[in-house]
Amino acid sequence: MLYLTKDLFPVFVPLGVVGFYRYLWFIIKLLAYFFYRPMMPKTNPTYNPEYDVTIIVPTIDAGEEFKEAAHSWLVNNPKEIIIITETKMKDALQELANSVDPTRIRVLTVPKANKRLQMVEGIRNTTSEIIVFADDDAIWTPTTLEYILACFEDPNMGGVGTSQTVKSVGRYQTVWEVLAGFRLTIRNIEIAASTHIDGGVCCLSGRTAAYRTCILQDPRFQYEFTHDFWLGKYPLNSGDDKFLTRWMVYHGWNTYVQICKEAELLSTFKNNWRFVKQVLRWTRNTWRSDFRSLFMERKIWGRHPYVAFTMVDKIFNPITLLSGPITVIALAAEGKFHLPWWDIFISYIVWLMMTRIVKLLPHLFKRPQDIIWVPGFLIFGYYFAIMKIYALFTLHEVGWGTRAGIDQTPAELAQEKEKQKLMDQQLEQDMEKQALESRDSAAQAALAAAAAAATHYEQEQQQQQYLKQLQSTAHEIPRPDSPGSAELIRHFSRHQEQQRQAAAAAAAGNASSRRLQNLGEEEEDPDVYTYNQDDELAQYFANADALLNTRTSLSDPFGYYNGSNTGNSQGAGGSGPASYGGYYYQMPAKPSCRVPPFISWLSNVSTTLFKPRNPFPAVTASPRTATQRAALKSCRTIALYRSGSNSHAFAKSLPVTSRFSASSSQQQANVSLQEVRRFRSLFENNLRWNKKQTLYERLTFPRTLSTKTTLKQNHNDLVPGIRASFFEMDDSTDPSVTLQKSLAAVPHHAIKDEIRLRRTEIDIKGNIIRSDVGEFLKSELCLRFGLHPRDLRKIDGGFSNQVPVILVRPEVIIVNIGHIRALIKADLIVLFDSPDSTDRVEDSPFVKYLQERLRMSIVQAGGQTFEFRALEAIFVSTVGSLHSDMEILVKVVTTLLGHIEEEVDQFKLKEMLQYTKKISRFESKALLIREVFEELLEQDEDLAAMYLTEKKKGHPRAIDQHDEAEILLEAYMKQVEEIVNVVTMVKHQVQSTEDYVSAILGAKRNQLLMFELRIALGTLGISSGALIAGLYGMNLQNYLEQDPHAFAIVSAFAVSLGATLFGTCARKLRVLAVGAA
């Protein structure tokens, strides 16, 4: 035996401490994993995948596995899928996308294969609220998006990840895939634990991760993301998921990972030795990212201390892992112990095997056959420890390692570096030139504003005296609805306008002076740009706030930011908010916990050695709810107009140090004053605004308002009424009573007279003659198109639960079928869409096909008139969309039913339940469309009235002359009928599978009952024999103690009794089972 003597104390005590720490740390993770709970979807969620989610897939060589993955994405019903690849692969991927779903999958290209550039290209082409990045082989469950979006109910949530498992490439998993599965199991435990303890994660895996679009469309993020260098000279292509996770942490956004079956994705891994290269690339990315998080950015110490400690633990993990076998080998080699060396090694290996099996229990419960690979995982763990040390000394190698066409040669890296250097020099020259121009233009604007102020100086003095006289009788700034206040408000506004002009002149002069002073003094790295006090849009909002001379901030008009002075936007290292383009930014606070001294020392050393090329900026995006972003959309529009360019040029200009526009400075100054006046009139009412700011926010924007369209549609009319009642209350007023008064004060026309739509008009030649978004008077629409007010409900997207309909009126055909809402006249078609839609109408596949049909001649169109060509285009798009959805649903459901028949699994049964609901909804949708055709075919008058062109020419059709219309409707009704039949057949298959599953589960239940009964009978037999043996063994005088054969006789009798009893009962049980069958 091995004794712990004094000479072994220096060896075993440190090892004992390390071992105690390692397994205590593991127990903490395990407990947190068991207490972790995923976020559950709400009944009425804020985000709908069909409108708010875009899936971006950067790839270069997607194969057949992409089809299976794409089908699983489409089942989740996203708005669209964007594939980004290099130019030479576009044709192949476009053909692959068309074979899956040509309407909801787009293919974009970049000049060269670079994952980060591909991701940014997809971000710039996204119009939805949420972006989900996915690998081309990531297979989702039907509820993946539902569970991902559940996390974004938290307005501070920036990124969401999912749990993962391995999908085998072949029929059976290789040892490399089993090792990948083991790693994913441990990763899921660690991420669930960190999410539960402090809400942080080490990495949101790039296989599938969701982010808010407003974060990723920040031009500052896009610049940093595509200009990420290691040691200032090695461009990073991989490690995008690490960068995104660090960006969330640094900029104050929360993260979460859904560890549950409903959100678990399947992903393939390399099934050969190339898996080692994958692991090596991941290890290098982890080293780089952890160094930056711990020693350079350091925000993680304050926000997620548990995750920070986990990162430190990973740094020392190779040393602690290798110290165990090295010590055992050294002690066994000395040979000073009573045990032979092989006993020591066997004991150590058995101990390691037992501890590894405990860590892998979640995986072994799902795949018990993988237990034979636990020794291989043990060996791979020690190999991985050596690999981590090797990776630490080769961090300069930034290649992908497993994909051809992505890695760059040293010559290409040098060429790119030289190119970047030239671009930086050119950018520096442009910045200097534009700074000079902006200085001159700002000075001219200041002189013009000062001259205007001097011209009206005399009038200002007179108005000042009159204003003081009026204000001496007033206790507060009057509201517009106060009696007798019109004259006071008029003079007060004129006085304030002149004050604003003077302030604008002073601000512009100060800005030009600062530029003149700082022009020759500031020497910055051209790659390190900061949003400072001279940022054009931040300065615009700051000046506007100063001009207002009120506590109500322009950069936060609804009072969501509770800062002391929101007008003072600070630069890098400051503490105030800045805003531009409708997105609001808050300087990140310093970590709440104290950073250890040795961490600060390491930070200084690492900063000196590594010299990061692009440290993160100090300006960060403050989390906002969807409701708040919708209400502030007008601010974003004004800011884009103020920039003097379109949104794309505006986005490109932001990374450069901002400056005043070099042209039209005076005009912009005038526009600024107009905007100030507009905001002033909209948001000022009373000096008591700030006292009731929080309550006003709660009344105006209740949490239950989740429909963004409703908020945008009614906000301008609701706010004045709410505000008028709100500021008349006392501090003791009940909020519910105030809300009732506010709603009663809402103008009646806000509900009845206007309809908010996006309208696109296409003429008889197929040209788009109008495309606008706004509020249209219902009476005007009814008068123009000859409609009844009730007909407008068919095209108004504000009404929920609409059913498909085709209405024929004397001059127009109203169509609301599938995803299309339209009005068709004899020479015009008007398409309606949600006012929140930002998609380009010209890029819609339906609009392109419609224009192609309308531009045909009568002969080419087979004699069809304008209205029938438009109708047929609508029918083709609707039926095509139904058919595409049906194909995806049928394929996925058929595959799932086949898997269930092979092996009945609880998760598969739950997945089948989800698909059963989807099939029922799809069947209802198809049946409603079929009923529309059937009802119209039964109305002869409506069929004859559909000939609008002939009616316009003065030759209306007779009631029984509608053969062309009837044939057209019947053709597409038959196609819809075929779709309904296929879905009904699949529904019957699902029902049959459910019956089969019920029978299988019933049989298994009976087998379990029979097994339980046999166990009970066996226990009864053993208990009977034990009873006899117990009686014999008691201290009772039975005259058999002295007999040498007594023990054998009693034992034989006990066994015989038990066997006889068990056999008899088992025979009876078999007879009962046969009789029941």
Fold assignment, 32-312: Spore Coat Polysaccharide Biosynthesis Protein SpsA; Chain A (3.90.550)
On the 0-12 / 13-18 / 19+ scale of CB atoms within 10 A, 90 is: middle
Dihedral (Cα; 464, 468, 470, 475), 10-degree rounding:
130
**What is the separation of C-alpha 854 from the centre of its chain, rounded to a whole number of angstroms?**
39
Average pLDDT, the chain: 71
Backbone angles phi, psi at 108, to 5 degrees: -115, 165
CA distance 616 to 251: 9
Length of the chain (residues): 1077
β-strand 130-134 against 53-58: which pairing, if any? parallel
Question: What are residue 208's DSSP bridge partners?
Answer: 134
Numbered ranges of CATH 3.90.550.10 in the chain? 32-312
pLDDT of residue 795: 75
Distances (CA, A) of 867 to 192, 830, 1037: 58, 12, 112
pLDDT of residue 688: 35
Q: Which residues lie closer than 8 Å to 728 by C-beta, 6 or more apart?
A: none
Numbered ranges of CATH 1.20.58.340 in the chain? 752-988
Question: What are residue 157's DSSP bridge partners?
Answer: 254
Domain 752-988, CATH among 2.130.10.10, 3.40.1280.10, 1.10.3720.10, 1.20.58.340: 1.20.58.340
Residues lower than pLDDT 50 in the chain: 1, 471, 473-485, 488, 512-596, 598-599, 601-602, 605-752, 800
pLDDT of residue 255: 94
pLDDT of residue 221: 92
pTM of the model: 0.57
Q: Tokens 């670079």: give the residue.
A: 114
**DSSP-H helix ranges across 633-791:** 633-642, 647-653, 665-683, 693-700, 708-726, 735-744, 749-752, 778-785
DSSP states along 754-793: EEEEEEEEEETTS-EEEEEEEEEEHHHHHHHHT--GGGGG
On the 0-12 / 13-18 / 19+ scale of CB atoms within 10 A, 191 is: buried
CB-based contact 376:194 (threshold 8 Å)? no
CA distance 152 to 212: 8
Nearest to 542 by CA among 515, 503, 513: 503
CB-based contact 318:269 (threshold 8 Å)? no
pLDDT in tens, 304-360: 999 999 999 888 888 888 877 887 777 777 666 566 777 777 777 888 888 888 888
Q: Which residues lie closer than 8 Å to 824 by C-beta, 6 or more apart?
A: 812, 813, 815, 830, 867, 870, 871, 948
CA distance 619 to 587: 5
CB-based contact 255:159 (threshold 8 Å)? yes
CB-based contact 238:281 (threshold 8 Å)? yes
Letter for the amino acid at 302? G
What token pair was written down for 347?
């004991």
CA distance 660 to 437: 9
**DSSP-H helix ranges across 555-690:** 597-610, 626-631, 633-642, 647-653, 665-683
CA distance 866 to 825: 8
3-state SS assignment for residue 898:
helix
CA distance 699 to 695: 6
